[in-house]
C-alpha cells in the first residue's frame, strides 16, 4: 500500500507541556512525559518531498527563527534538504557525470578537474568559498598555467551549478573566487609571416604539403583537416565543407565525430589552395569514391594527432621555424582575413568559433582600434587638403606664366 504524501507544513511544539480537556471540555495545560528531559521546544517541518525534519531548541524564539529561515529558503528556491546536503562533491559528480552527454575529450577534462579538486570529500552543505580559494592556490603553487587553472575551475564550477539546480547546494561557493590573470592573447600568440608559410610549403613532404596549405589558407584545425574526404572539396564553387574531425580517445583509439562546438561550415577558399589540393588528389588519392580520405592512415582511419604531429615537427625544422605550432597557421589565416577588412562574424564563421565573443577574445587586438581609424581618417583629410593646395598652386602658376 502506498503511503500518502504529506503536504509541506511547519510548526513549533512544546515538548514539556501538553493540552488536555477536563469533563467540561475545558483545556488544561499539564506536564507531559518528556517534562524536564532534553530541549523543551521542537521545530518541525515537512519538505516538498514529504519528508519530515525535526530539530530541538532551548527557546521557542530560536525554534521559530529556524523555521522562518527554512520557509524563506523554500519560497526563494535556495532550500537544501539537510540529508542531500551531506552528499560530498565527489559523490555528486560521480552520479551527475553519468547523465551527461559528453564526447570523450570532455569526459577526460571533467574527470581530471573533479579529481584534482582538494574538496572532493567535503559535504556540499559544508562547502565554502575558502575551499575553492585553497584549491586555486594549490594549483598555482603546483606551477599550473593560469589558463589551465581557469579551465579546471570552470569545469568544476559547472558541477557546482548543477548541484545548485538540483537543490543539494544552496549557493555557488565559486561565484566570487578570484583567478590568476591569464596573459593577453596577443602576448601568447605567434603569427607566422608570409615568408615562413611559403618556406613551410616549399620544404614539406609531397604528401603533407596540402595539409599545411589547408591549415594556412582555410584555417582548419588539425582534426578537421585530417578528417577531410575528397568529396568535401567543391572545386566548382571553390569551397571546402567541414563536416567532421578526427580525435584520439584514451590516447589510442581513433574516433571520427562532428567538428568542435558543432562548427560544421562551408569555407570559401582561394584557387591557389584548390590547385594544391587537386595536385595532391591526382598524385596520392586518385579514384572515383568521394568518401575516400584525403590523408589516409593505417587501416580504415585517416591521419590523426600523432601522425600529423610527426610530419609537422619534421616540416617546421626543415623550414627553420622550430618554434611554430601547427595551430599558428590558423592564426595566420585569421590575421589575413582581419587585415583584409573582414568583420567579426565573417571571421567567426570561417574559423568555426561557436560565438563571435570567442573570436573577439582571441583576435580583438588584430582589428583596427579607434586610434587606427582616427589616423587613417586624418591621413585622408591631409592627402585631400594638400592635393587641393597643389592644384590651386599649379593653376596660379600657370596663370602667372600666361599659359
pLDDT in tens, 224-239: 999 999 999 999 999 9
Are residues 38 and 130 located together in one domain of the fold?
no
Angstrom distance (rounded) from CA 156 to CA 214? 36
Of 128, 159, 182, the one marking the end of a domain is 182
**Distance from first CA to last CA of the chain, Å, rounded?**
117
Which residues, in sequence order, are bridge partners of residue 42? 13, 56
345 confidence band (pLDDT: 50, 70, 90): very high
Residue 360 lies in a domain: no
Same domain membership, residue 45 and residue 115: no
Same domain? 113 vs 254: no
Helix spans in 58-103 (H): 60-76, 89-97
Q: Provide the pLDDT for residue 181.
A: 86
pLDDT, mean of residues 39-49: 79
The average confidence (pLDDT) of the chain is 85
- My answer on whether 319 and 208 are in the same domain is yes
Please say if the pLDDT value at position 85 is more than 60. Answer: no
362, part of any domain: no
Is it the case that residue 50 has pLDDT exceeding 80? no
CA 149 to chain CA centroid, nearest Å: 13
Tell me: pLDDT of 1 over 80: no
Report residue 261 CA to chain centroid gap. 9
Note whether residue 101 is domain-resident. Answer: yes
Q: Are residues 72 and 97 in the same domain?
A: no
254 forms beta bridges with 248
- φ/ψ of 195, rounded to 5, equals -65, -40
CA distance 86 to 78: 16
Is it the case that residue 325 has pLDDT exceeding 90?
A: yes
Greatest mean pLDDT range, 53-57, 83-87, 307-311, 393-397: 307-311
The Cβ-side half-sphere exposure at 72, using a 13 Å CA radius, reads 6
pLDDT of residue 72: 63
Domain annotation covers residue 3: no
> Does residue 323 sit in the same domain as residue 220?
yes
Average pLDDT over residues 36-56: 80
Residues 164 and 240 in one domain: no
Distances (CA, A) of 9 to 34, 51, 52, 196, 296: 24, 10, 9, 74, 68
- Residue 403 confidence (pLDDT) above 60: no
Q: How many CA atoms lie within 13 A of 232 on its CB side?
A: 25
What local confidence, expressed as pLDDT, does residue 212 receive?
97
| Residue 44: per-residue pLDDT | 81
Residue 186 has a pLDDT of: 45
Tell whether the model's pLDDT for residue 7 goes beyond 60. Answer: no
Per-residue model confidence (pLDDT) at position 342: 93
Same domain, 332 and 200: yes
- Residue 361, domain member (yes or no): no
Q: How many domains does the chain have?
A: 4
- Choose the final residue of a domain: 133, 164, 182: 182
Instruction: List the one residue out of 28, 72, 79 whose CA is nearest residue 49.
Output: 79
| Co-location of 67 and 104 in the same domain | no
| Domain encompassing residue 388 | 368-403
For residue 263, what pLDDT is reported?
84
| pTM for this prediction | 0.63
194 and 178 in a common domain: no
Query: What pLDDT sits at residue 188?
Result: 67
Q: Kindly indicate the confidence band of residue 361, based on its pLDDT and cuts at 50, 70 and 90.
A: confident
pLDDT of residue 257: 86
Tell me: do 308 and 270 sit in the same domain. Answer: yes
Beta bridge partners of 239: 234, 268
Q: What is the CATH number of the domain that holds 162?
A: 1.10.150.130
At residue 223, the pLDDT reads 94
Lowest-confidence pick of 100-114, 219-233, 346-360: 100-114
Give the residue from 36, 59, 79 where a domain finishes.
79
Same domain flag for 307 and 229:
yes
Amino acid at each position: 500500500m502506498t503511503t500518502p504524501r504529506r503536504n509541506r507544513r511547519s510548526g513549533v511544539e512544546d515538548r514539556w507541556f501538553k493540552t488536555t480537556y477536563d469533563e467540561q471540555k475545558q483545556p488544561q495545560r499539564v506536564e507531559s512525559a518528556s517534562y524536564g528531559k532534553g530541549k523543551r521546544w521542537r521545530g518541525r517541518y515537512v519538505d516538498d518531498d514529504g519528508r519530515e525534519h525535526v530539530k530541538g531548541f532551548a527557546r521557542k524564539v530560536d525554534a521559530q527563527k529556524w523555521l522562518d529561515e527554512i520557509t524563506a529558503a523554500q519560497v526563494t528556491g535556495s532550500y537544501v534538504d539537510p540529508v542531500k546536503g551531506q552528499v560530498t562533491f565527489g559523490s555528486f559528480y560521480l552520479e551527475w557525470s553519468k547523465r551527461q552527454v559528453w564526447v570523450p575529450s570532455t569526459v577526460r577534462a571533467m574527470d581530471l578537474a573533479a579529481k584534482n579538486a582538494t574538496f572532493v570529500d567535503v559535504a556540499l552543505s559544508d562547502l565554502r568559498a575558502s575551499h575553492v580559494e585553497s584549491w586555486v592556490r594549490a594549483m598555482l603553487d603546483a606551477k599550473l598555467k593560469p589558463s589551465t587553472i581557469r579551465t579546471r575551475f570552470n569545469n568544476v564550477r559547472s558541477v557546482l551549478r548543477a548541484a545548485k539546480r538540483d537543490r543539494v547546494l544552496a549557493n555557488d561557493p565559486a561565484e566570487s573566487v578570484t583567478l590568476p590573470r591569464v596573459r593577453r592573447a596577443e602576448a601568447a600568440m605567434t603569427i607566422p609571416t608570409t615568408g615562413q608559410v611559403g618556406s613551410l610549403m616549399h620544404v614539406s613532404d609531397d604528401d603533407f604539403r596540402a595539409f599545411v596549405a589547408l591549415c594556412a589558407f582555410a584555417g582548419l584545425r588539425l582534426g578537421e583537416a585530417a578528417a577531410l574526404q575528397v568529396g568535401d572539396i567543391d572545386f566548382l564553387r571553390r569551397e571546402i565543407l567541414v563536416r567532421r574531425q578526427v580525435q584520439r580517445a584514451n590516447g589510442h583509439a581513433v574516433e571520427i565525430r562532428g567538428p568542435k562546438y558543432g562548427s560544421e561550415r562551408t569555407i570559401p577558399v582561394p584557387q591557389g589552395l584548390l590547385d594544391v589540393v587537386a595536385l595532391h588528389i591526382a598524385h596520392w588519392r586518385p579514384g572515383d569514391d568521394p568518401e575516400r580520405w584525403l590523408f589516409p592512415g593505417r587501416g580504415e582511419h585517416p591521419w590523426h594527432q600523432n601522425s600529423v604531429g610527426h610530419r609537422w615537427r619534421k616540416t617546421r625544422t626543415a623550414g627553420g621555424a622550430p618554434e611554430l605550432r601547427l595551430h599558428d597557421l590558423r592564426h595566420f589565416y585569421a590575421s589575413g582575413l582581419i587585415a583584409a577588412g573582414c568583420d567579426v562574424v565573417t571571421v567567426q564563421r570561417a574559423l568555426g568559433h561557436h560565438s563571435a565573443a570567442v573570436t573577439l577574445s582571441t583576435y580583438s587586438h588584430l582589428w583596427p582600434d579607434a586610434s587606427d581609424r582616427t589616423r587613417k581618417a586624418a591621413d585622408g583629410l591631409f592627402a585631400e587638403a594638400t592635393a587641393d593646395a597643389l592644384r590651386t598652386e599649379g593653376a596660379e602658376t600657370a596663370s602667372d606664366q600666361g599659359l
